[in-house]
Structure 1
Amino acid sequence: MVKPRLYAGRSLRDLRRAAGLNQRAMAARLGLSVSYLSQLETDERPLTPAVGAALARHYPQVLAAIEGEAPARRLAALADALADPTLPPVAPEEASRLAEEHPDLADRLVALHAARRAAEERLALAEEAFTAGAGARLPWEAVRDWFHEAGNYVDVLDRAAERLCHDGEAGGRSVEDALAARGIAVALDPREDAPLARFEAGLLTLNAAAPAETRRFLAAHRLAATAFAREIAAITAAAELPGEEARRLLAIGLANYAAGALLMPYADFRAAARAMRHDIDRLSRRFGVSFEQCCHRLSTLQRPGEEGVPFYFCRVDMAGNITKRHSATRLRFARFGGACPLWHVHEAVANADRILVQHAETPDGARYVSMAKGLVKPSGRFDRLARRYAVVLGCEAIHAADFVYADAIDRGASGAGAPTPIGISCRLCPRADCDQRAFPPSDRTIAVDPDIRRVVPYRVL
């Protein structure tokens, strides 16, 4: 039976306009000529396997709407598996033909790729735990792992926050008014040593010296903890965590998550982020949030069928400790110890309010574009040190057209635009030629020659 031709001009036009792209930018993303895309949009040409594979890679939900859920999801998963840089390249037409003519084999390849990725992650975790001498997870680490395993997206809270905003309780009035409607008053504490927030007897007291964005977020946290108490309790009760302290930390983290969803409702924020090409300063002004809050929210846009650009996000302190982390990409973060010294986030810590952009490549061949910015949270007094850290937000280079910061670099294959070779951490990095190496890889042997002096006093074999 001959498969009927599919014409999807209107869907492609709607997709391009929703993404805020002109035909040239959309054609570049899909690997087409501008004239060919124009013919597709005017239904002069049908979708081909190559175009279908490109849509599966970048816009699986759109292809699902055109072709039907099951075939499109299979092709999207297969395209992702075959895009692994450790595998030889496969033409889009071949991937599309495999998914269509041999769906069972395609499903097995997808499952095999997922199993390999999971095995690599388990091995990396085991190596890090062995290297660090770690035993049982501490409460803080357990909660951080819970959010990572949840994909940093909590559907029930995200949708509840969006409904509350659209119902007008939080969106049509200030957060303080929404709290007042629930019998909670807000006051400011002028004392320099006051905690950031204190809640008792229906009164939320905020530190007057905290920045306005921080106070607004703390008020939203209390609103979320009150409005979604039942949902938070149910999630916390079902979580497999080591003890009561971990459950309390998870409850706080869930309320923080919901606060971000209240201040930056999913659909509105995702649409604005696309339109502004994820310009964080513009988004922060639009939604009245801090730079860090905006970065963190961008990393949570993983609603099934309505995903945003898959980002990784982390926060690093002056000592190189990763205090927040999440990745919706293939990039992993070290659970213990510092990050790669070639990562630009370390330079950003020492350069407050300056945005640094980096084109980087990990040992598996994946390339990323990221921005890092050093931030300072003032202490309010001379004899109390300010908190200094940096946040970093990045995506795979294939999404560079959606990431305004990628405009600052030339991503050519050589010269100044060549990607910086980074790793996860020295103990997990297999690179043998890195002059910045602090430790040898935990799974490789070394050779030491006392008659030859190098920057690193050993060779990785």
Structure 2
Amino acid sequence: MADAAERRPLRARLFAGGELRGLRRRHGLGQAAMAERLGISVSYLSQLENDDRPVTRPVADALAGIFPLDWTEQADAAGTRQAAMREAMADPLFADLGPPDALHRAVEQQPDLADRFLRLHAAWRRAEERLQMADEAIGAGTARGGRLPWEEVRDWFHLAGNYVDSIDRAAEALAQELDAQPLGEGLIAHILKQRHGVDVLSSGDEAAAMRRFDRARGLLTLGRALPPETRRFALAHQLALLEFRDAIAAVAGAADLRTGEAKTLLSVGLANYAAGALLMPYARFRETARALRHDIDRLCQRFGVSFEQACHRLSTLQRPGARGIPFFFCRVDMAGNITKRHSATRLQFARFGGACPLWIVHEAVAIPDRILVQLAETPDGVRYVQMAKGLVKPSGSYARSPRRYAVALGCEADHAAEFIYADGLDTARAAAATPIGISCRLCPRPDCDQRAFPPSDRAIQVDPDVRDVVPYRVG
């Protein structure tokens, strides 16, 4: 990128010398190395860092591409619009549109039209997701009216982006007030007693419920077999129910759910959300996660949480203006059922039936406490880096089987440099990726040897004289 191409500034002139210099130093780069990455001269970079010249559109684009999590926070309204447009245009639907420069000019010259385009694309994405839900329900023999309450709540969180601003900010404010990291079990119990008159006891019965709250007596009883991280989460859940009662009721009351059971389940889910936000406050957790390159084990040590809790919290970092890496997260049991799922990426999970058998998460279920990594590619050509780990939750008794499952966390390959688990993966090599789908009923791949069912929207062809691994061909 020649210096002559740098003359066109952002629609609103952006002087960000201090931020640019700090960004360079945080990444351990000298001016020559930084200038080479940006495709500009060292003297031009020096002028930018000294605020002698504003950051131009090509430089801003280069910064957003090389440092997507760091630079987007420095963008102004026009820069934010450009970033949103770049994300939308990454949709394979627009693969044959014009070059980026034409897009930049269109956004700068017609910002209102760009905003309407972004809203239209977001509405189209939501409509596509709802259509996918209906297709899966029909394919699985489950009509929309027959959705169970927990399925309604699951889809509510999905369509909400797995981020609830009012509750997340309230939990973060309380965590700042308590000013402790990690938030210890004793402190939470003290706050429960001091503010709400609640006593905490451990049950002497191994078969007792994990958590039981006696409202009349103000008594919270926790199962003796709970691991420390689960005890802390249970205490945080109870504190959230009492501290954020009105906020939870407001969100649940406004939700478009069919039954009272679903609204009650949503209230419980929102209290769990608040507990995670209390133990892992948004800004502090996001900053630490980025500094550690999203190393889950180290995050668990810093915040005193479980592996699953840390993974789940990473998938909720979608606060406008301060987003984390867009992750997908899921939990899969021994039978292949997806019991938790959320995706802030273009990858979406099957809502009925099992997930694609080629996902590494299925192998991880059988190998507890070992992290597996995978580079995967979906039928639309998007690549993802993901890690999966098998976990065992002890029951506390030989008479009760422990719960075995696996969790998976991943992001699009564009963010591989920020995700420590991608370090050993060759994200650029064409043959390195495992071809995966959402589920067999929705996957269009005609040549998958692991296919359990044909796609629901295509005919099959059966040749009685030919037998392959799959006994039919997809039309």
The answer for the alignment partner of 2:295 in structure 1 is: 279
- Is 1:138 matched up with 2:148? yes
Q: Does the 8 Å contact 1:169/1:178 carry over to 2?
A: no
Write the distance in 2 (CA, Å) between the matches of 1:261 and 1:221: 10
The Cα shift of 1:116 comes to 3.7
Is 2:375 aligned against 1:359?
A: yes
| In 1: Cα distance, 2:102 partner to 2:474 partner | 39
1:45-444 to structure 2, matched below 5 A, reads 46-55=54-63, 59=68, 62=71, 65-66=74-75, 68-69=76-77, 71-86=78-93, 87-88=95-96, 91-135=99-143, 136=145, 137-168=147-178, 174-182=187-195, 183-200=197-214, 201-415=217-431, 418-444=432-458
SS at match of 2:450: coil
Q: Distance in 1 between matches of 2:267 and 2:14?
A: 48
- Partners of 2:465 and 2:56 in 1: how far apart? 62
Q: Deviations over 1:159-215 (max 9, x none)?
A: 111111111277676211211212111111131101101111111111111101101
Task: Return 251-260 or 44-53, whichever deviates more.
Answer: 44-53
Q: Is the 8 A contact 1:354 1:373 kept in 2?
A: yes
Give the letter for the 1:304 counterpart. P
After alignment, is 318-327 or 55-64 more displaced? Answer: 55-64
Q: Per the alignment, do residues 377 and 94 of structure 1 end up closer, same or farther by CA in structure 2, a change over 3 Å counting?
A: same
Q: 1:347: how far off?
A: 0.2
What secondary structure, in the 3-state scheme, does the structure 1 residue paired with 2:55 have? coil
User: What are the superposed Cα offsets for residues 23-66 of structure 1, whole Å, 9 maximum, x if unpaired?
Assistant: 38xx89x9635976954545577533233234556658955755
Please state if 1:22 is matched with 2:32: no
In the TM superposition, what whole-angstrom CA distance separates every residue of 1:254-313 from its partner, at most 9, and x where no partner exists? Answer: 111111111111111111001000000000010000000010111111111111111111
What's 1:458 paired with?
Answer: 472
Note the alpha carbon deviations across 1:411-430, whole angstroms, 9 max, x for none.
Answer: 13245xx1111100000001
Aligned length: 453
Amino acid at match of 2:175: C
Unaligned runs of 5+ in 2: 1-7
Q: Distance in 1 between matches of 2:365 and 2:296?
A: 18
Using structure 2 for the length normalisation, give the TM-score. 0.88
User: Secondary structure, in 3 states, of the residue corresponding to 1:408?
Assistant: coil
**For 1:380, what is the secondary structure of its paired residue?**
coil
- The percentage of counterpart residues that share the same residue type is 62
Over 3 Å counting, the alpha-carbon distance change for 1:318 and 1:379 in structure 2 is: same
Distance 1:253 1:90, change over 3 A: same
Q: 1:120 deviation in Å?
A: 2.5
Cα distance in 1 for partners of 2:428, 2:403 equals: 37
Runs of at least 5 residues in structure 1 that lack an aligned partner in the other structure: none
Deviation string for 1:138-166 (max 9, x for gaps)? 11011111111111111111111111111
Which residue of the partner structure matches residue 5 of structure 2?
none
Query: Conserved in 2, the CA contact under 8 Å of 1:153 and 1:302?
Result: yes
Shift of 1:237: 1.5
Is the CA contact 1:311–1:328 (under 8 Å) kept in the aligned structure 2?
yes
Quote the RMSD (CA, aligned, Å): 2.7
Q: How far is 1:379 from its partner? A: 1.6
After TM superposition, the structure 1 stretch with the greater mean CA deviation from structure 2, 292-301 or 445-454, is 445-454
TM value normalised by structure 1: 0.91
Amino acid at match of 2:133: L
* Aligned residues of 2:391 and 2:405 also touching (Cα < 8 A): yes
- Contact 2:69-2:325 within 8 A present in 1 as well: no
How far off is 1:83 after superposition?
1.6
Distance 2:279 2:40 in 1: 38
Corresponding residue SS for 2:313? helix
CA contact (8 A) 2:229 2:304 kept: yes
